[in-house]
Amino acid sequence: MTGIIFSSIIKDLKTATESSDHPFRHFTLATSATDGTPRMRTVVLRDIDDMLNLMIYTDKRSKKTPHIHNHNSVSLLFTDAKRFLQISILAKAEIISNNSILQTIWEKIPQKSRKDYSTQLPPGQEISNPAAIDYLEGTHFFSAIKFTPHHIEYLRLKRPDHIRVAFKKKYNDWNGSYLVP
């Protein structure tokens, strides 16, 4: 049965990369700030590969970048309120630095979305109002982050019994065991 649950997790994550209305499309990423303070933000799931590595896009000037450089252990939280389902993933994060990979991804990003990575000021900088954002021409700060999971927890609240399963990666195999919810 844990194998069926694991397959359903993979299916949901893959579907979320293809469907903008899937509840797992937007998830919470938790990092540790340089002073150790936990930081959370909502990000967009962009890709998942056959090894279950997940990818998001970001502005390389965002605060999550130095967080990951200093401490690459992160937590990802996916929720589906309609199904009372939560997937929690512990992973190692890696800022993609290969320019060839970044260029390939960049070319696939729609023109209207590219401006998100070309603001004159970095993300989180104070401005007077939302219309006060200036964009640069021909310059961008696009980057991507890859997450390599090593622990996945599945929690489904349902009657008569809630289901909680922990999956741990050992080498390239995932092993699941039931937990008390």
pLDDT score for 1: 82
Per 3-state DSSP, the chain is made up of helix, strand and coil in percentages (nearest 5) of 25, 40, 35
State the average pLDDT over residues 27-34. 96
Mean pLDDT of 16-41: 96
Q: What is the pTM of this model?
A: 0.94
Tell me the three state secondary structure of residue 117: helix
- Written as six digits, the tokens of 60 are 């390389």
At 88, the pLDDT band (50, 70, 90 cuts) reads very high
Does residue 37 register a pLDDT over 90?
A: yes
pLDDT digit string, tens, across residues 67-81: 999 999 999 999 999
Distances 19 to 12, 22, 44, 122, 123 between C-alpha atoms, Å: 10, 6, 11, 29, 26
Domains, the chain, with CATH or none = 2-123+136-179 (2.30.110.10)
Q: What is the mean pLDDT of the segment spanning 135-143?
A: 93
Q: Is 86 exposed, middle or buried (0-12, 13-18, 19+ CB in 10 A)?
A: middle
